[in-house]
Amino acid sequence: MIDNAAIYMSQGERLALAYAEGINSNMSNSHFHDFYELYYLISGERFHMIEGEIYHMKANSFVLFPPHTMHHSYGDRDIPFKRIVLYFKADLFSSPELDSLLCDKVRIFSFGNTKFSSVYQLLESIDEELKSSETFHFEYASSLLNQLMFTILRINFPPVENHQQNLITKAVAYIHEHYAEEIKISDLADFLYVSPYYLCRKFKETTGQTIIQYLNITRILRAERLLLETRNSITQISKEVGFSNLTHFNRMFKRITGCSPREKKKEYLTLQNTNKDNKK
């Protein structure tokens, strides 16, 4: 499935919204953004793996991801779905307090049978303004975005609980907790009281990846965050995320992200300097 909103953001937009529908459209890799994401499920059912925990979403549910939150979505076979995704930069907030309140955790809510929730209606209004040719349409959309964020902070609906743990969710949780250590499939299988063969087969069936692929992706995404959030050297970061060999780390980083750690660090520094200049 093509994520048009992500394409707009990569082209320099600060606010982008897109509708999409599909069936058997599953993301194979976790990822994160340097901006917020609001995912609203209009119909169908989806699972979201967020920082190692799995959440089962049904129609009229939404999740708000703060920047740098590792996640990916997938669904059961042959279950159609429709969704809205909204991406936005924190610099559009009318108050710094909004960012400080929203960046601390993932928010997942369900409106149950309420077909047209206030969140859904505001998303539709934002979409209309972004498509409009009226004067100040972007500024109007930005004001609606702020109204949407305040609405979410006022929501009293109980949050969606994480999906009941099973063999694979326990394996994923273990990887997220111990990724910086040496993880052997045999040790993980012993921890979960199953055979390595059974664990590997069920893990691939559920996630679409092998255990080693998932472990490497988790490590590299953590490394990306450390490149962005710290001034640690690339060698330090490679060790912090569980790689004992720098060459192997560099090779894996480029395979997963499409660029080398050095190129990614330079990209982040350029972006940070640009943001500083824009605030002057």
Kindly list the domain boundaries of the chain, sorted by start residue.
4-154, 167-271
**Non-local CB neighbours of 199 within 8 Å, separated by 6+ positions:** 167, 171, 185, 188, 189, 192, 211
User: Above pLDDT 70, what percent of the chain?
Assistant: 90
- One-letter amino acid for residue 193 of the chain: Y
- Paired tokens of 182: 């040496």
- One-letter amino acid for residue 23 of the chain: I
Q: What is the pLDDT of residues 46-105, one digit of tens each?
A: 888 887 777 888 888 899 999 888 888 888 778 899 999 999 999 999 988 899 899 888
What is the model's pLDDT at position 157?
A: 67
Comparing CA positions, the residue from 80, 82, 76, 32 lying closest to residue 62 is: 82
Strands 81-88 and 36-43, by their bridges, are antiparallel
What is the model's pLDDT at position 23?
A: 83
pTM of the predicted protein model: 0.73
Q: What is the pLDDT of residues 128-181, one digit of tens each?
A: 999 999 999 999 999 999 999 999 988 876 666 666 567 888 888 899 889 999
What is the model's pLDDT at position 172?
A: 86
For the cut 90, the answer to whether the pLDDT of residue 274 exceeds it is: no
What is the model's pLDDT at position 24?
A: 73
Residue by residue, DSSP assigns the chain as ---HHHHHHHTT-SEEEEEEEESS----S-B--SSEEEEEEEESEEEEEETTEEEEEETTEEEEEPTT--EEEE--TT--EEEEEEEE-GGG-SSHHHHHHHTTS-EEEE-TT-SS-HHHHHHHHHHHHHH--STTHHHHHHHHHHHHHHHHHH--SPBPPBPPP-HHHHHHHHHHHHTTS---HHHHHHHHTS-HHHHHHHHHHHHSS-HHHHHHHHHHHHHHHHHHH----HHHHHHHTT-S-HHHHHHHHHHHHSS-HHHHHHHHHHHHHHHHHHH-
Class in CATH terms, 167-271 = mainly alpha
Among the four given CATH numbers 3.50.50.60, 3.40.50.620, 2.60.120.280, 1.10.3470.10, the one describing domain 4-154? 2.60.120.280
